[in-house]
Structure formats: C-alpha cells, structure tokens
C-alpha cells in the first residue's frame, strides 16, 4: 500500500473548514471510498501527492492539461503577465486576441463572451436562448452535466449522478419544471417532447460527446435529428463543448462531427487550468447580450488577463500544431487496444467507450449508450478497479460517471505501464 499519511492528515483537517473537505464534490472519493490524495505538484503526465507518491494522470484537471502539467510556455506567460497586475476591471487587447483566436479555430462563432467557468458559460447561454426566443423551457439529457446552475440540476451527470442525488434541495420546483429531460441518444423522445411543447422550448442543450456519465458517444443520427427539430421549431441548439472544445479537434465537436450548433459553450481546455469559460455563437443570437442587447450578463473577473494569457498561449499551441491532436488520438487508441486486450483475457463483462482522447471503462454486459446503461453497470467493481490502479500508480477519475482525459505529455512507456497496471489490478479484483 502507498503511504498516504499526510493526505489523511490533510483530509481530516480540511473537513474542519471545508464542506466534505473539498471545494468540488467528486474530488472527495466519496463514491469510491478512501482518502482523496492531496496533490503537491505535477509535471507533464505525472502527479505527485503530498506523501511523494507519483501517479500517471488520466484526469488532466478534468481536461485542461491537454499538453501536460506545468506546460512551459503557459507557465512563462503567466509569470510575465502577473508582473503587470492580475486584474484591471477594464478592457485589454488580450481579450480581443483571445476572441479572434477562438473564432479562427471554431466554426459558427461570430461573437463570444468570456466568463470564469463552464457553469457560468452554460447558464448564460440558456439565458441568451430564452431572451432571444422569448420562451421558458429547456431540454437537456439525463446524465449530461452542464454545471451547477439551478436549471441544469435535473437528472444531471458527474457528481450529481456519482452521489445518486435524485432532487437537489435548494432548486425550486418552478425552475425544475422548466427543464425537460430525456435519455441521451433517444431521438424519438426528443421528437415527442418537442411536439408536446411546440413553441415553448427555448433551447436544447447537449454534450455532443458525453463525458459526465463516463464517455458516451452520440449514435449516428442523434445530433443530426436534434439539429433538424431545432430548425423546424425555432429552438436554439446549444453544444456544451466544455469538455469537447479544443479537445476533440481545434474546432471541437462541431468540427469533428460536422454538425453546426447555434450557441456553443466552452470551459476546461480553454483556460489551460485557469478559471475560464466562454459562450458564443451566431451574431443574430449573441447580439441580445448586454451591453449590445438587454440580456444581462457580467463578470468582475471575466476576461482576466492572467487567465486570458494562459488560455491564449495554450490555444495558440493547439492551433499552430494540429498534429498534436493526431498524436493524442493515436495514444488513446493505443491505450484502448491495450486495455481491451487485458480485459478480454480477464474474461468478465466490460465496455470500453472511446472518442478522440476521451475514454472510459464500464463493467457492463450491455453497450453503454445513455445514463440508464451507465448506471446499470457494476460500479462497485469500478471502485475496486480505481483503488487497485491507484496502488499501481495510475490516477483515474474517482467515479465511473466520469470520462478519462488523456494528455499529450503521456509517453508510450506511461501507456504501457498503465496497461500493465490494469492487468495486475484486474487479476486482483
């Protein structure tokens, strides 16, 4: 067993001052059991905890560290800009450069507004869609997570699913009533809801590749069908690309899947590990945003210079070296093949879902295509697997309802070690 005595002490101390000892629920290891590791530092694909254990990292800060931790151009840029002051509350040229860079990478974004988190991006996008259409209802999918704004905490994925919270106290019935839900990949259900609520739905929001119930792929025709429904009934189609943006490709899921969204939200990779989110889209819709229009949305630290230079530096690297995506996808496919092989030899039921540099394992007999099938998997077995992998120096997301994120600092040696760790871990289950 790894010695994690300092993490244990810190976790006990943290719980005296912080709810559950963490500032975001999934970090607490509550669903897999055990003590969350407190991290001291990271470099490339490797995390080091406070007890000096080393791990190969498959969380990558839930996505942002796509080129690895402490990526030197980003660290240097932050250091340089921090010396000029960390915030002004007035516009900077950097914000224009960031917006221009994003527009040069991503389709269908005429105007874009920076915020400080994915939650803010999604809640703002919904307000814009409601303001633009004059309608109240939204439609989301079971197991998709769009941040913790009230409207989205209905059948949400990520921590809400991990902790099996059915109805979130504090979210009013009125708000919940305006959120329609149906199963991911169930186009017929979308059609029925759209028909039953004709002229009432402001927006359909979706994770174009879902990552908050494990990794779940959109089935052929699902997103295309929603696009058509939105066109027919004047519904704003929102791609929540907080995970997929700048990860699946420069242009995110819109580009990779060849489907156009009306509004798009970003987070995670866009800030290189700083608190950044963004929402953007067609001019016709985005021009309702204040001060151009009356849909109010604001932020004291929105477009913060340190956050902007971090994101700008990372996105520039991704834009200038498109082969990075090919490298990353090839590594992920290599990992998938290796895991598939050891799981086949192990002989118990499993499903690997994989898209680009997102991947997850469900201990399931049936294909995992939506929240119900993800929840029906043997998630106790996932917890055992998670802990065994940790003992072998591999840090996976501490929940079966989360995708793993690869970063391009992973070497083939790291991947081979991970595959061998999986073989040993499965043998001990």
Ligand X SMILES: *Cc1c(COP(=O)(O)O)cnc(C)c1O
Q: Which of 57, 240, 329, 370 is catalytic?
A: 240
Burial class (CB in 10 A: 0-12, 13-18, 19+), 299: middle
Q: Which stretch binds ligand X (CB under 6 A): 140-148, 167-175, 356-364, 419-427?
A: 140-148
Q: Which of 55, 58, 145, 325 is catalytic?
A: 145
- β-strands 54-57, 236-240: how paired? unpaired
* Interface with ligand X, residue 405, by CB under 6 A: no
* Interface with ligand X, residue 138, by CB under 6 A: no
What is d(CA 429, CA 421) in angstroms, rounded to the nearest whole number?
12
For residues 265-294, which are near ligand X according to CB under 6 A? 267, 277
Closest CB to ligand X among 131 and 211?
A: 211
Instruction: Please name the residues in contact with 343: beta carbons below 8 A apart, sequence gap of 6 or more.
Output: 350, 352, 361, 422, 426
198 assigned to active site:
no
Structure tokens at 218: 């959109």
**Which residues partner with 272 through β-bridges?**
274
What's the min distance (Å) between Cβ of 9 and ligand X?
Answer: 28
Q: What is the C-alpha R_g of the chain?
A: 21
Q: Which of 7, 31, 181, 212 binds ligand X (CB under 6 A)?
A: 212
- β-strands 277-281, 111-115: how paired? antiparallel
For residues 236-255, which are near ligand X according to CB under 6 A? 240, 242-243
* Interface with ligand X, residue 118, by CB under 6 A: yes
Q: Which stretch binds ligand X (CB under 6 A): 84-92, 145-153, 226-234, 307-315?
A: 145-153
Q: Give the residue at shortest CB distance from ligand X.
A: 118
* Interface with ligand X, residue 379, by CB under 6 A: no
For residues 74-93, which are near ligand X according to CB under 6 A? none
58 assigned to active site:
no
- β-strands 277-281, 263-266: how paired? antiparallel
Instruction: Please name the residues in contact with 265: beta carbons below 8 A apart, sequence gap of 6 or more.
Output: 118, 121, 122, 125, 146, 238, 239, 240, 241, 242, 245, 277, 278, 279
What's the min distance (Å) between Cβ of 267 and ligand X?
Answer: 4
283 assigned to active site:
no
Structure tokens at 243: 């995970």
Q: Give the interface size with ligand X as a residue count (CB under 6 A).
A: 15
Residues that bind ligand X in the complex, under the rule CB under 6 A: 117-119, 122, 145-147, 207, 211-212, 240, 242-243, 267, 277
What is the set of active-site residues?
Answer: 145, 240, 268
């Amino acid at each position: 067993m790894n010695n994690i005595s300092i993490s244990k002490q810190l976790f006990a101390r943290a719980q005296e001052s912080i709810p559950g000892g963490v500032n975001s629920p999934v970090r607490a290891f509550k669903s897999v059991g055990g003590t969350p590791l407190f991290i001291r530092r990271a470099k490339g694909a490797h995390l080091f905890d406070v007890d000096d254990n080393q791990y190969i990292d498959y969380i990558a800060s839930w996505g942002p560290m796509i080129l690895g931790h402490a990526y030197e151009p980003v660290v240097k840029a932050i250091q340089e800009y921090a010396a000029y002051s960390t915030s002004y509350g007035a516009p900077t040229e950097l914000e224009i450069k960031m917006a221009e860079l994003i527009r040069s990478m991503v389709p269908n974004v005429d105007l874009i507004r920076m915020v400080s988190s994915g939650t803010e991006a999604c809640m703002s996008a919904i307000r814009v869609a409601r303001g633009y259409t004059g309608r109240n209802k939204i439609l989301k999918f079971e197991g998709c997570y769009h941040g913790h704004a009230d409207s989205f905490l209905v059948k949400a994925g990520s921590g809400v699913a991990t902790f099996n919270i059915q109805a979130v106290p504090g979210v009013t019935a009125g708000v919940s009533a305006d959120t329609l839900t149906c199963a991911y990949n169930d186009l017929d259900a979308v059609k029925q809801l759209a028909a039953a609520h004709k002229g009432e739905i402001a927006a359909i929001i979706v994770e174009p590749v879902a990552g908050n119930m494990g990794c779940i792929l959109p089935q052929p025709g699902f997103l295309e069908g929603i696009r058509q429904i939105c066109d027919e009934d004047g519904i704003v189609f929102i791609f929540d690309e907080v995970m997929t943006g700048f990860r699946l490709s420069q242009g995110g899921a819109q580009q990779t899947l060849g489907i156009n969204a009306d509004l798009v939200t970003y987070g995670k990779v866009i800030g290189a590990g700083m608190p950044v989110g963004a929402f953007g889209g067609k001019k016709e819709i985005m021009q309702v945003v204040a001060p151009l229009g009356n849909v109010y949305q604001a932020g004291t630290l929105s477009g913060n210079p340190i956050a902007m230079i971090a994101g700008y530096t990372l996105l520039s690297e991704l834009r200038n070296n498109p082969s990075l995506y090919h490298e990353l996808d090839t590594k992920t496919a290599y990992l998938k093949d290796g895991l598939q092989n050891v799981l086949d030899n192990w002989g118990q039921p499993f499903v690997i879902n994989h898209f680009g540099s997102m991947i997850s394992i469900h201990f399931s007999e049936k294909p995992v295509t939506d929240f119900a099938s993800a929840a029906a998997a043997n998630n106790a077995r996932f917890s055992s697997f998670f802990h065994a992998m940790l003992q072998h120096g591999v840090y996976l997301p501490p929940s079966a309802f989360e995708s793993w994120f690869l970063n391009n600092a992973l070497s083939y040696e790291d991947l081979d070690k991970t595959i061998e760790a999986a073989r040993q871990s499965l043998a001990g289950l």
